[in-house]
Structure 1
Amino acid sequence: MPRKGMRSLCFSPRTPSFSTYHQSTTSESTASSTNRRRFSESMIEQTIDAAATIIMKWDADTSAYAKVTSLFYESKREALQFIRSVNELQKTMHLLVSDQGSRSEKLVRAQILMQTAMKRLQKEFYQILSMNRAHLDPESISTRSSWTSARSSTSDFDDDDEIRTAGDSISEIEEVSSMAMSDLKLIADCMIASGYAKECMHIYKIIRKSIIDEGIYKLGIEKLSSSQVNKMDWDVLDLKIKNWLEAEKISIRTLFTGERILCDQVFATSDLIKESCFTEISKEAAILLFGFPELVAKTKKYSPEKMFRVLDMYSAISEDWKEIETIFSFESTSTVRLQSLDSLVRLSESVRSLLMDFESTIQKDSSKTMIPGGGLHPLTISSMNYLTLLADYSNILTDIISDWPPPAKSTLPASFLFSPDSEDSTAPAISVRFVWLILVLLCKLDGKAKHYKDVSLSYLFLANNLQHVISRVRKSNLQYILGEEWITKHEAKVKQFTSNYEPLAWGEVFASLPENPKAPITAGKAKDCFRKFNASFENAYWKQRSCIVPDSKLREEIKVSIGTKLVTLYRDFYNTHISTVGDERSARLFVRFSPEDIGNYFSDLFYGTVSSGSSSTSSSVSSHHRRQMLRSPLRV
């Protein structure tokens, strides 16, 4: 509306009619709309022209420079300007589509420019992913925790100097990695907003999947069938399991964690795209990784080491379960979580089966070879080695056997069925299981002790082997599993065995002396007692020299127990009746040992020394004692 008309309206002495006012305001509105349209069209043209300038500059089809040069590498400021121009162009295209009065040639031009821009951004996206493989490898990314956000805001950096300044506080590698992730996110956001998400995802998936697949391959994880695993020698399979344990650790802490962090940051604007990319990139490799333990668990191969390898794999997955759930939290990666759970179930079943095999191995041991000197049976040594190692996995075993029914007691002889150690219904399942396995071992050892013709040696055998069991329990985690009460009860059994051994092995020596060694007796009676003592002691000594007590503490306890009582009894008899047998010459004929000799001879016992031509493990002192005995010395 002309200004003159406006003035006459505002300052007219008369109030205008409604029709006059309506006509004037309608005319004003039409003129304003026309002006806005002209202004909008002008802005649209300016936006398209500005976008065309920078987009065509980097069109690889028309510019040799753009064909061989990277936009984001050459100038970050210009790259940010390129992104802004594309975003503005996208907004302009929306306006053109919604404005029915717009001329179609502008929209066509904008669409052509957009296609050119997207082609350039695809090239940049590919170049950044390819050229920065070293800086975007999962290990580098995983060392940067997820809180290290990608620099995605275009307002954060106005020029290259500011970008360089921002990186002064972190290492060069972290800076390059951070910049690459920031650039990728800028491009991804722009392409997704422009409707080119599919093209962006395609490039990302191809390159990143190759990195994950290559990483898994380098870690030694390969696709194997159940039959292939079954055909492997244990040594080969054992090496593969050791390799898997290391690979699993690296995969969770770096490979998959790094890829998830990168994927989350690059595609932060779209959960659907983020999930699609990560799933396609990592799912196949992850299932391959977590499927291997299930194959191992299904194998029928038996080796003592297999139990510990199975437990190691179970431990690896269970300890990393929270990370597995976090990394593969998408619904589309649920198969990875399920595969991990399947492997845990199979491994736990394998552990139970191997425990039953171990118990069966003990019960089926049919060797009747008597251990010389009543020493340690190989079954005792191997079984306790196995059990002490198992005890180191007590936390894992607690989970595995917590709901496992207790063992059937009918598998043991009736005399063992009512053992108080196996009747505690309140004890944890793991304690019950270990108590039971040791009980099976002790039962088997009890049967082997019966093969000794010398009953005293059978008791020494039982004492030695039970003492070894207790010693291994005390020096391992078994002490916490079995408890102090169990140890105390079985230490009492060792004392019972040694108490039974003493009178059987040395009873004749004690019986050769009178009950009251200081009571007066005739010279003939004294000589007869000395002769009997000489013969019985020499016989017992040579017999017991072949016995062995490997445990030094138990060995000293037996020596002290027998030696103290015998030396005390003999010293009283010796001091009282040495003069009764006659002069020194007569004494030499009947008295072959002094009380000190008895103590010295005892110090040489229970080392497993074999006489009469066999190799001797005794010290030079024992040789001296042997010569002394043969010469029948007399010390007054």
Structure 2
Amino acid sequence: MPTKGMRSLCFSPRTPSFSISSQSTSQSSSSTPRRRFTDSMIDRTIDAAASIIMKWDAETSAYAKVTSLFYESKREALRFIRSVNDLQKTMHLLVSDQESSSDKLIRAKNLMQIAMKRLQKEFYQILSMNRAHLDPESVSTRSSLTSARSSMLDFVDDSLPDDKIREAGDSITEIEEVSSMAMSDLKLIADCMIASGYAKECIHIYKTIRKSIIDEGIYKLGIEKMSSSQANKMDWDALDLKIKNWLEAEKISMRTLFTGERILCNQVFATSDSIKESCFTDISKEAATLLFGFPELVAKTKKSPPEKVFRVLDMYSSISEDWQEIETIFSFESTSSVREQALNSLVRLSESVRGLLMDFESTIQKDSSKTMVPGGGLHPLTISSMNYLTLLADYSNILADIIADWPPPVKSSLPASFLYSPESDDSSAPAISARIGWLILVLLCKLDGKAKHYKDISLAYLFLANNLQHVISKVRTSNLQYILGEEWITKHEAKVKQFAANYEQLAWGEVFASLPENPKAPIAPGKAKDYFRKFNSSFEVAYWRQSSCVILDSKLRDEIKVSIGKKLVALYREFSNTHRSTVGDERMMRLFVRFSPEDIGNYLSDLFFGTVSSGSSSTSTSSWVSYHHRRQMRSLLRV
């Protein structure tokens, strides 16, 4: 074979080779001693390499065929690698020496091919037999370890026994030690094969085995290829289960699967950035694209149950929280499509959230139920809407990003308090405050329309007070308080008080009017009888009407009862104490003075629990309040 043709056998020009000066090669008389020395050294190097390489030739040795070099003797494995490296340097020297014997080069070439075949086998065995120790989780957990073990393999003394070599990893846990040793062995073999011109064979083995591990990992995590039509055909429960599984899979993939593979590639192929990138890209790109493509499919599905928005927000949060890791792990230009897919999914998910919020608003506006809630209690629309909004508020940070550049709702009927929350320092807060405030305003406007279905206006006001109080309570006990602010809460609490005052005046106004403005003023016995008669009648009518009413919020219930009691009980006590003796004897008193002040207080204390004699209320709440609480209320009303 021509010397020129043999140059292609040597791959790496960076590998040091024995130097021969140009002067010594041009002057034959002075180069003879140098050449004889070089020839002697070359022969010894080739002979030494042949000794260990042929020992581990699986074609000629039954022992070598069934035994692993790296597992049998670490010390001999190091000798093997160094002999191959010396052989490769010698081949460089022979190629550079135009007058060198081609026989030596051919012999060296044959030995190199045998050695590379052996190293390919060792490389494959280490990758295959250490799947458990080189799984991404094991690799990622040792990412903080130093490269001391790799350095040790390069500089350890061949005279050291194998047990001394292994002592370098005593400070590492057993699993980490096995993982670290396997990675170091792989790097040692990869460096040798690449330097010897066998990078293609090394890379092929690595990609084949490692890609199968990544693909298997993704499959076990439940990530499968799915089309848009398949996603749309799934019922929501099945799709919801897929989303929950994806959320867990994304965490595991980013913490272990892709992180571990990137670490392994970086360490095994540390000497070549191009090989490192090629391996990681070919191994991980397909699986990562599949992983980050699923959220886009979900965002595009036509199914829009109310709970979908929370799953979409969960996926958006998962990707956005890991965005820095995504950019770091998939930083290569060849993996830019993975970053683009993740970003595209974020865009689609944000669009889906906006669309779902618009659907929610539309659902409130289109609610056409005309059924009146018995007792003026909570409307199902209020309960479901506020449950939805309180859960939504838990995603306030994510929502702030999604709707930051979303045009605000129409402001024609929107109070200024909905547009800005002074309690928030977040520059995005005005947008989210306006959007959430608007949705609550839409709800309150819808409830105002439903209140008009009540024939009893006082019950309509109680309905509005009940439902607005529930809205405020949900705001106060959730993250909505930080979104809407204290000013919003204060203004709406004032509205509740106004609704309660209107209810009180309309429901109990006739009872108040049945007694004279000055209850202690002297009046004729006949007039006193008329006042007692009117009071008895108006109180009975008012009480039985209001006995069907319910106020679910205990604080609001007590406030309304105390307000009525302080006015009515005090007024009636003064009138009764002053004029009951004027109506006649004991028989006449029993006839006209049918209620004592204490009776009035007791009756009032039992109101607003939904205890309806007619059975018209769907909510029987008398069991909600203890006897002790009733006695407390009675004591408050006995003023």
TM value normalised by structure 1: 0.91
Which residue, out of 269, 278, 281, partners 2:280?
Answer: 278
Counterpart Cα distance in 2 of 1:91 and 1:619: 94
Larger Rg: 1
Establish whether residue 436 from structure 1 lines up as the match of residue 438 from structure 2.
yes
Counterpart Cα distance in 2 of 1:120 and 1:349: 56
The residue aligned with 2:169 is 167
Counterpart Cα distance in 2 of 1:185 and 1:619: 74
Deviation at 1:622, TM superposition (A): 12
Counterpart Cα distance in 1 of 2:602 and 2:609: 14
Deviation at 1:30, TM superposition (A): 5.0
C-alpha contact 1:150 1:182 (8 A) present in aligned 2 = no
Counterpart Cα distance in 2 of 1:376 and 1:230: 36
Establish whether residue 504 from structure 1 lines up as the match of residue 506 from structure 2.
yes
The residue aligned with 2:191 is 189
Which residue, out of 567, 570, 594, partners 1:568?
Answer: 570
Q: 1:246 to 1:619 in 2, by over 3 A?
A: closer
Counterpart Cα distance in 2 of 1:310 and 1:221: 17
Aligned-residue identity in percent = 83
Deviation at 1:421, TM superposition (A): 2.6
The residue aligned with 1:207 is 209
C-alpha contact 2:285 2:335 (8 A) present in aligned 1 = yes
Establish whether residue 106 from structure 1 lines up as the match of residue 110 from structure 2.
no
C-alpha contact 1:150 1:178 (8 A) present in aligned 2 = no
Deviation at 1:409, TM superposition (A): 4.1
Deviation at 1:428, TM superposition (A): 1.4
The residue aligned with 1:81 is 79
Secondary structure of 2:582's partner?
Answer: coil
Aligned partner of 1:420: which letter?
A: A
Counterpart Cα distance in 2 of 1:517 and 1:606: 28
Establish whether residue 420 from structure 1 lines up as the match of residue 424 from structure 2.
no
The residue aligned with 1:18 is none
Which residue, out of 117, 120, 123, partners 2:118?
Answer: 120
Within-5 A mapping of 1:226-375: 226-375=228-377
Aligned partner of 2:110: which letter?
A: I
* CA displacement, residues 51-71 of structure 1 (integer Å, 9 cap, x when unaligned): 000000000001000000000
Q: 1:365 to 1:131 in 2, by over 3 A?
A: same
Secondary structure of 1:521's partner?
Answer: coil
* CA displacement, residues 581-615 of structure 1 (integer Å, 9 cap, x when unaligned): 12222100100101111111111000111114668
Aligned partner of 1:155: which letter?
A: F
Q: 1:614 to 1:405 in 2, by over 3 A?
A: closer
Aligned partner of 1:145: which letter?
A: S
Aligned partner of 1:261: which letter?
A: I
The residue aligned with 1:55 is 53
Which residue, out of 139, 142, 146, partners 2:140?
Answer: 142
Deviation at 1:152, TM superposition (A): 2.4
* CA displacement, residues 333-378 of structure 1 (integer Å, 9 cap, x when unaligned): 0000000000000000000000000000000000010000000000
The two structures, once aligned, show a CA RMSD in angstroms of 2.0
Q: 1:172 to 1:219 in 2, by over 3 A?
A: same
Deviation at 1:168, TM superposition (A): 1.7
C-alpha contact 2:418 2:433 (8 A) present in aligned 1 = no
Deviation at 1:162, TM superposition (A): 2.0
Deviation at 1:620, TM superposition (A): 12
Counterpart Cα distance in 2 of 1:469 and 1:619: 24
C-alpha contact 1:388 1:477 (8 A) present in aligned 2 = yes
C-alpha contact 1:604 1:621 (8 A) present in aligned 2 = no
C-alpha contact 2:149 2:169 (8 A) present in aligned 1 = no
Q: 1:350 to 1:621 in 2, by over 3 A?
A: closer
* CA displacement, residues 139-173 of structure 1 (integer Å, 9 cap, x when unaligned): 11111124442732321464312222122212111
Which residue, out of 390, 393, 404, partners 2:392?
Answer: 390
* CA displacement, residues 222-258 of structure 1 (integer Å, 9 cap, x when unaligned): 0000000000000000000000000000000000001
Deviation at 1:501, TM superposition (A): 0.7
Deviation at 1:618, TM superposition (A): 3.1
Counterpart Cα distance in 1 of 2:302 and 2:148: 50
Aligned partner of 1:116: which letter?
A: I
Counterpart Cα distance in 1 of 2:378 and 2:623: 22
The residue aligned with 1:626 is none
* CA displacement, residues 301-348 of structure 1 (integer Å, 9 cap, x when unaligned): 011110000000000000001111111111000000000000000000
Within-5 A mapping of 1:550-629: 550-612=552-614, 617-618=621-622
C-alpha contact 1:59 1:116 (8 A) present in aligned 2 = yes
Q: 1:199 to 1:183 in 2, by over 3 A?
A: same
Which residue, out of 510, 516, 519, partners 1:517?
Answer: 519
Secondary structure of 1:548's partner?
Answer: coil
Counterpart Cα distance in 2 of 1:619 and 1:130: 69
Counterpart Cα distance in 1 of 2:593 and 2:437: 52
Counterpart Cα distance in 2 of 1:620 and 1:401: 42
Counterpart Cα distance in 1 of 2:560 and 2:570: 15
C-alpha contact 2:149 2:168 (8 A) present in aligned 1 = no
Establish whether residue 447 from structure 1 lines up as the match of residue 449 from structure 2.
yes
Counterpart Cα distance in 2 of 1:126 and 1:621: 75
C-alpha contact 2:433 2:484 (8 A) present in aligned 1 = yes
Q: 1:150 to 1:321 in 2, by over 3 A?
A: farther
Establish whether residue 155 from structure 1 lines up as the match of residue 152 from structure 2.
no
Counterpart Cα distance in 1 of 2:280 and 2:487: 55
Secondary structure of 1:152's partner?
Answer: helix
Aligned partner of 2:574: which letter?
A: D
C-alpha contact 1:241 1:309 (8 A) present in aligned 2 = yes
C-alpha contact 2:224 2:290 (8 A) present in aligned 1 = yes
Q: 1:139 to 1:418 in 2, by over 3 A?
A: closer
Q: 1:423 to 1:337 in 2, by over 3 A?
A: closer
Secondary structure of 1:277's partner?
Answer: helix
C-alpha contact 1:150 1:185 (8 A) present in aligned 2 = no
C-alpha contact 2:418 2:484 (8 A) present in aligned 1 = no
Deviation at 1:419, TM superposition (A): 2.4
Secondary structure of 1:261's partner?
Answer: helix
Counterpart Cα distance in 2 of 1:252 and 1:619: 52
TM value normalised by structure 2: 0.90
Deviation at 1:29, TM superposition (A): 6.9
Q: 1:329 to 1:622 in 2, by over 3 A?
A: closer
Aligned partner of 1:576: which letter?
A: T
Secondary structure of 1:304's partner?
Answer: coil
Counterpart Cα distance in 2 of 1:312 and 1:99: 67
C-alpha contact 2:432 2:483 (8 A) present in aligned 1 = yes
Secondary structure of 2:100's partner?
Answer: coil
* CA displacement, residues 448-480 of structure 1 (integer Å, 9 cap, x when unaligned): 011101000000000000000000000000000
C-alpha contact 1:524 1:581 (8 A) present in aligned 2 = yes
C-alpha contact 2:519 2:571 (8 A) present in aligned 1 = yes
| Structure 1: stretches of 5+ with no match in the other structure | 1-24, 411-416, 624-636
Q: 1:103 to 1:351 in 2, by over 3 A?
A: same
| Structure 2: stretches of 5+ with no match in the other structure | 1-22, 423-428, 628-639
